[in-house]
């Protein structure tokens, strides 16, 4: 152990140096909190009426009803799962060239800016808002959801892949360049082996995220299990809603554990 | 073997694609470019005069995100200490329970929480705040307990060696080490919550999403355009703020 231990303990440095500013910030924070909490309007009569529903919901969660609405649930689940898989595959396929184009060390400047702006647009727009538009354009159902998730996947994978390519070990690409390799050969032999494991890990992670999102975009009409959840809640069928939520939690947990396991196994 | 795996993937993809599109009405899909052009021509220019009715919902949206984040932090911090294997009081019972709560709250989207809470508490920003808070627990809890598990054991041992109590070990050995990542995580989550609270109004949980919903229902595309521009602006500003703060901390 070569590092020398510090022999004294000092207070960690303050974030704001001047004392006056610290007090001003604290006062500002308190004023904000008072104002913000003041804007909450609670209709207590409504809340008390809602408590009975809350009880029914908890009861529904403890005794989920899988059978009465099973057709809706299984349809929605099927839609969600197929949507998740296809959109992840297509999204990853599209985002690989975009990710390569958005890496400063392998792409020319104009390609870099085009790809970066595609990524920025895809990341700035919320999935739900995109879903609303795609439902308006392509009609209700899973196809709009598929497009939404694909669109969101491009921004996510593209950005992380581009950062990965920018972080690679330059020595290997130098070596390949020195052999007089073309650009495609450079990508294939110097870049691809370095980023492939990460790309697979990211795709699995995105599969997981896409499933969670597919449970939500159904609320605005883009198909999947969210639509079933929305219907059962608006019909006050809390036992079916509980069943759907339990299914969602179970699948997300399964996906999380198996993707963690797979990523470990691939390393 | 590798080829068989790829083949299976392709087959799965084709099957999923067939399943997914069997109820798609392709006439709508082919008509989409026309529909897009139509909506686009209606949405321009955005109706700027509508802005004066957006300030109050925008303020509500920011409040939902901020108060929701604070509430989420308040609930996530104790959970994180229960879930971290080096600070948990009982590995057999409390740790699995805390881990379950963290995973369960993370797997339910804030929009779904909002849907539930609106049907229980009625529409309004309270449902939004609670939805954001519940969703944040899992995120903050997970990142924070990982940070706690990564703390330097030597500092903790040094403090234990002075005969410190459990509480003193926490406050002097562990908390100072995780404080920077705690601030980073909180600001990061606040930034995400600004995005999420912008759409909670779609299901009735207050904020600017409610305006978006009513404008969509009226097919008032210039207003929709303006609202989306406002949401984008807010998101950009919050991202800038959180990047600045994180830069100042780390």
Q: Which residue, B64, B96, B69, is CA-closest to B83?
A: B96
For A17-38, write each residue's pLDDT tens digit: 677 888 888 888 888 888 888 8
Nearest residue of B to residue A14 by CA position?
Answer: B249
Q: Is the ipTM of this complex over 0.90?
A: no
In the predicted model, is pLDDT for residue B197 greater than 80? yes
Average pLDDT of the residues in A174-178: 84
Using a CB-CB cut-off of 8 Å, the residues of chain A touching B232 are 124-125
Average pLDDT of the residues in B210-233: 84
Of B74 and B216, more confident:
B74
Residue A58 banded pLDDT, cuts 50, 70, 90: confident
Cut 0.95: pTM above it? no
Q: Which of A246-250, B40-44, B197-201 has the lowest mean pLDDT?
A: B40-44
Average pLDDT of the residues in B43-65: 81
pLDDT of residue A152: 92
pLDDT of residue A193: 83
Flag if B119 and A89 touch (Cβ within 8 Å). Answer: no
pLDDT of residue B51: 75
Residue B73 banded pLDDT, cuts 50, 70, 90: very high
Residue B70 banded pLDDT, cuts 50, 70, 90: very high
In the predicted model, is pLDDT for residue B117 greater than 50? yes
pLDDT of residue A93: 92
Whole-number percent of chain A with pLDDT over 70: 93
Assign residue B240 a region: left if phi > 0, alpha if psi is -120 to 50, beta otherwise? alpha
Flag if A124 and B236 touch (Cβ within 8 Å). Answer: yes
pLDDT mean across residues, chain B: 84
The beta-carbon neighbor of A43 closest among B21, B122, B248 is: B122
Q: Measured between alpha carbons, how far is residue A201 from residues A198, A258, A265, B120, B142 in Å?
A: 5, 12, 11, 39, 19
For residue A97 the two structure tokens come to 């060239």
Average pLDDT of the residues in B125-138: 90
Cα torsion angle, B107, B112, B118, B123, sign:
positive
pLDDT of residue A3: 52
pLDDT of residue A153: 93
Using a CB-CB cut-off of 8 Å, the residues of chain A touching B21 are 142-143
CB contact A41 to B (< 8 Å): yes
Please compute, for residue A136, the number of CA atoms within 13 A of its CA located in the half-sphere on the CB side: 18
For A99-124, write each residue's pLDDT tens digit: 988 888 888 888 999 998 988 888 87
For B16-26, write each residue's pLDDT tens digit: 887 777 777 77
Whole-number percent of chain B with pLDDT over 70: 99
Q: Which of A75-89, A132-146, B32-46, B118-132 has the lowest mean pLDDT?
A: B32-46
Cα torsion angle, B177, B179, B182, B183, sign:
negative
Whole-number percent of chain A with pLDDT over 90: 9
Residue A2 banded pLDDT, cuts 50, 70, 90: very low
Of B165 and B24, more confident:
B165
For residue B116 the two structure tokens come to 């539930």
Q: Which of A3-12, A57-66, B92-101 has the highest mean pLDDT?
A: B92-101
In the predicted model, is pLDDT for residue B69 greater than 90? yes
pLDDT of residue A14: 60
In the predicted model, is pLDDT for residue B225 greater than 50? yes
Residue B84 banded pLDDT, cuts 50, 70, 90: confident
CB contact A266 to B (< 8 Å): no
In the predicted model, is pLDDT for residue A1 greater than 50? no
Nearest residue of B to residue A56 by CA position?
Answer: B120
Question: What is the DSSP-derived secondary structure letter of residue B76?
Answer: H
Portion 42-101 of A in contact with B at CB < 8 A? 42-43, 46-47, 49-51, 53-54, 57, 78-79, 81-83, 85-86, 89
Q: Which of A74-83, B34-43, B219-228 has the lowest mean pLDDT?
A: B34-43
Using a CB-CB cut-off of 8 Å, the residues of chain A touching B16 are 81-82, 85-86
Residue A14: phi and psi, rounded to 5, are: -70, 150
Residue A11 banded pLDDT, cuts 50, 70, 90: low
A124-147: b (≥16 Cβ within 10 Å) or e: ebbbbbbbbbbbbbbbbbbbbbbb
Residue A197 banded pLDDT, cuts 50, 70, 90: confident
Which ranges in chain A belong to alpha helices (H)?
19-38, 44-62, 70-101, 109-124, 127-138, 142-166, 170-178, 183-186, 192-217, 225-234, 238-266
Asked if B49 contacts B55 with a C-beta cutoff of 8 angstroms, the reply is: no
């Amino acid at each position: 152990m070569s590092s020398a231990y510090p022999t004294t303990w000092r207070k960690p440095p303050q974030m704001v140096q001047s004392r006056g500013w610290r007090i001003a910030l604290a006062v500002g924070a308190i004023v904000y909190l008072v104002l913000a909490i003041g804007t909450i309007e609670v209709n207590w009569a409504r809340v008390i009426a809602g408590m009975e529903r809350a009880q029914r919901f908890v009861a529904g969660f403890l005794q989920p009803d899988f059978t009465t609405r099973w057709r809706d649930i299984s349809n929605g689940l099927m839609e969600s799962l197929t949507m998740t898989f296809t959109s992840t595959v297509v999204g990853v396929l599209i985002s690989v060239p975009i990710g390569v184009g958005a890496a400063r060390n392998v792409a020319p400047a104009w390609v870099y800016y085009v790809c970066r702006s595609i990524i920025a647009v895809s990341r700035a727009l919320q999935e739900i808002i995109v879903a609303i538009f795609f439902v308006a354009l392509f009609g209700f159902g899973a196809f709009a959801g598929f497009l939404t998730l694909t669109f969101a996947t491009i921004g996510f994978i593209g950005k992380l892949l581009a950062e990965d390519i920018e972080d690679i070990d330059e020595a290997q690409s130098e070596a390949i360049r020195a052999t007089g390799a073309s650009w495609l050969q450079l990508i294939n032999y110097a870049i691809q082996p370095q980023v492939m494991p990460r790309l697979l890990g990211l795709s699995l992670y995105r599969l997981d995220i896409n499933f969670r999102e597919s449970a939500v975009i159904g609320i605005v009409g883009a198909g999947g299990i969210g639509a079933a959840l929305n219907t059962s809640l608006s019909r006050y069928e809390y036992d079916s809603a509980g069943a759907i939520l339990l299914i969602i939690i179970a699948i997300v947990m399964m996906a999380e554990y198996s993707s963690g396991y797979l990523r470990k196994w691939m390393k | 073997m590798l080829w068989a795996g790829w083949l299976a993937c392709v087959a799965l993809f084709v099957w999923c694609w067939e399943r997914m599109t069997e109820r798609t009405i392709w006439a709508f899909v082919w008509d989409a470019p026309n529909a897009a052009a139509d909506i686009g021509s209606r949405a321009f220019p955005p109706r700027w005069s509508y802005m004066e009715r957006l300030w109050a919902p925008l303020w509500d949206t920011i409040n939902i995100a901020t108060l929701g984040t604070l509430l989420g932090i308040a609930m996530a911090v104790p959970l994180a200490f229960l879930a971290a294997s080096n600070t948990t009081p009982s590995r057999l019972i409390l740790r699995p329970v805390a881990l379950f709560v963290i995973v369960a709250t993370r797997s339910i989207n804030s929009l779904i929480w909002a849907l539930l809470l609106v049907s229980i508490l009625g529409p309004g920003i309270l449902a939004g705040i609670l939805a954001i808070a519940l969703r944040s627990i899992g995120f903050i809890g997970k990142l924070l307990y990982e940070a706690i598990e990564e703390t330097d054991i030597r500092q903790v041992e040094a403090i234990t060696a002075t005969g410190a109590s459990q509480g003193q070990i926490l406050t002097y050995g562990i908390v100072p080490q995780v404080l920077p990542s705690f601030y980073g995580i909180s600001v990061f989550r606040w930034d995400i919550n600004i995005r999420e609270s912008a759409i909670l109004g779609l299901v009735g949980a207050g904020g600017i999403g409610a305006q978006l919903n009513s404008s969509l229902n009226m097919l008032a595309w210039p207003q929709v355009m303006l609202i989306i521009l406002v949401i984008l602006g807010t998101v950009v500003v919050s991202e800038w703020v959180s990047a600045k703060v994180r830069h100042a901390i780390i």
